[in-house]
Amino acid sequence: MADLYHSIDESQLRAEASSCLLTYGSKFHPNIISRAKGVYIYTASGHRILDWTSGQMSCLIGHGNPEIVEVITNHAANLDHLFSGMLSPPVISLAKRLIDLTPRGLDKTFFLSTGGESNEAAIRLAKFYTGKFEIVGLSSSWHGMVGAANGAQYHSGRAGYGPVLPGNFCLPAPNAYRSIFRHPNGSHDWRTELDYGFSLIDRQSCGSLAAVIAEPILSSAGMHPLPAGYLKALKEHCDQRGMLLICDEAQTAIGRAGDMFAFQHHDDGVIPDILTLSKTLGNGLPLSAVITSDSIARFAKENNFTFYTTHINDPIPASVGDKVLEIVVRDGLVQRSRELGKILQAGFRHLQQRYGCIGDVRGRGLMAGVEIVTDRITKEPGLELGDRIGKRMAELGLWAQLGTMQSFSGVFRIAPPITISLKELEEGLAIMEKAFSTVAGTMPLYQQDFGGRVGANL
């Protein structure tokens, strides 16, 4: 298929963008992207960039996937959008396929557009079911830009907009690299941290605690997996207080983190009361899901729970989600993500051994964080250094987002499509190596002689 935008004037488009586009919380990338295919994006000038954020962490099975293109084309021509109370075959098929993949206790679902919308619906459902209104989030969380979801997140964007909805509290986000809660041997004491957090919430609550919402891997916080046992302890705290547990798996589900759903990773029997999906489910199209138990669904139906939107259960995005799940299961992509993730982590740890500016490497599956510091002892965030490394990587043909907000602390968030090949994975690691080796201040832990040969820095 021909490139739709092969003859555009990039400088003119940048000028027009500056004159007519409203900013929304991020600097615009300096290049105009004119094409995306597989694991690559292409600038208008023809520069090919390996996309290690899957767009906005969403293109799980790659840009322009031919099966997805066919599904969209067929449904755009035959079954596009309906009255919100109507049902269609792709919606029912997606619901059946999704519920067949979830464990018992996650039995009913409906489909919305964005992750923020699905979290809004989940919080609304939790309040409706419990009859309470207080919501607890983690201190570096991101759950969306709509009312209740935005009130339950603490990553950024709270200042300057007036009060959020009443009844929001936060727990300290578990950060094994930076937390002040430590065992005598220096390891992260997440349980004391969690218990202490709830002791403060109990003092602040007016007795109306409805739910906790948490990501199994805190992505906007800098790709921090919840410690083994954390989700189980969190559920126990919820049960003690009559609260529901909401798991936000916008980025972590459908194989991204090496399991079909990331809450299943530690196999400790924890099943959230409500699960939300988005991003990866739609492979870049606006599609999200809210999944809950039969008992909560029955209460919602009998008591007329309402979350009625224009695009609820829309056919086109549902057809895409159905195909995404089919492909992931059919092609064994969950296992593939798990195995390639081991190679990715090994590559990052190799880089960490070679460059002193890499303070920490973490993640699961094809979801990783590489934290940049100016000093490994003090762990001073290397925001400016990370920015220079990121720009150099983009010049060399690799896009990986560097978070520079406070709760990021300067972390490259990496999440390539899980259809990436081993060769493409190695290509990205080689580009990262070249970027680190050519940017000043990365603190090489080796010495390079004048002939270009690399030797150990003994």
Sequence spans of domains, the chain: 10-64+333-444, 67-330
Q: Which of 251, 336, 352, 424 is catalytic?
A: 251
Fold of 10-64+333-444: Aspartate Aminotransferase, domain 1 (3.90.1150)
Active-site hit among 51, 193, 248, 360: 248
Q: Is 413 a catalytic residue?
A: yes
Q: For residue 454, list its beta bridge partners.
A: 448
Q: Rounded to whole angstroms, how far apart are CA atoms 282 and 61?
A: 10
CATH architecture label of 67-330: 3-Layer(aba) Sandwich (3.40)
pLDDT of residue 404: 57
Cα separation of 402 and 388, whole Å? 10
User: Is 52 tagged catalytic?
Assistant: no
* pLDDT in the model for residue 409: 67
Residue 240 annotated in active site = no
Question: Is 314 a known active-site residue?
Answer: no
Q: Sheet of 209-214: strands edge to edge?
A: 108-112, 288-292, 274-277, 244-249, 209-214, 134-138, 168-171
Please pick, among 336, 338, 392, 413, the residue that the annotation labels catalytic: 413
What confidence score (pLDDT) does residue 455 get?
A: 39
Would you call 371 exposed, middle or buried from its count of C-beta atoms within 10 A (0-12, 13-18, 19+)? Answer: buried
CA nearest to 225, candidates 197, 188, 276, 271: 188
State yes or no: is 248 an active-site residue.
yes
What share of the chain in percent tops pLDDT 70?
95
DSSP symbol at 360:
E
DSSP state of 6: T
Q: Which of 52, 142, 190, 399 is catalytic?
A: 142
pLDDT in tens, 314-326: 999 999 999 999 9
Q: What is the pTM of this model?
A: 0.95
Task: Supply the angle between the helices 422-438 and 333-354 in degrees, to the nearest 10.
Answer: 20
The residue from 279, 336, 354, 362 that is catalytic is 279
Q: What is the DSSP string of 180-248?
A: S-B-TTS-B-HHHHHHHHHHHHHHH--S-EEEEEE-SEETTTTSEEPPTTHHHHHHHHHHHTT-EEEEE
List all residues 6 or more positions away from 339 whose beta carbon is below 8 Å from its beta carbon: none
CA distances 53 to 104, 113, 357, Å, are: 32, 20, 22
**302 annotated active-site:** no
| Other Cβ atoms closer than 10 A to 99 | 14
Going by the DSSP 8-state scheme, the letter that residue 172 receives in this structure is P
10-residue mean pLDDT profile of the chain (458 residues): values are 78 91 86 95 94 96 98 97 97 98 98 97 98 96 88 83 91 96 98 98 98 95 95 98 98 98 95 98 98 98 97 98 98 98 98 98 97 96 93 95 67 96 97 97 76 37
β-bridge pairing 134-138 and 209-214: parallel
The number of CA neighbours under 13 Å toward the Cβ of 235 is 16
Q: What is the per-residue pLDDT for 453? A: 37
The DSSP symbol for 263 reads G
pLDDT tens digits for 212-239?
A: 999 999 998 899 999 999 999 999 999 9
Catalytic residue chosen out of the listed positions 215, 259, 371, 424: 215
Among 273, 216, 222, smallest CA distance to 249 is for 216
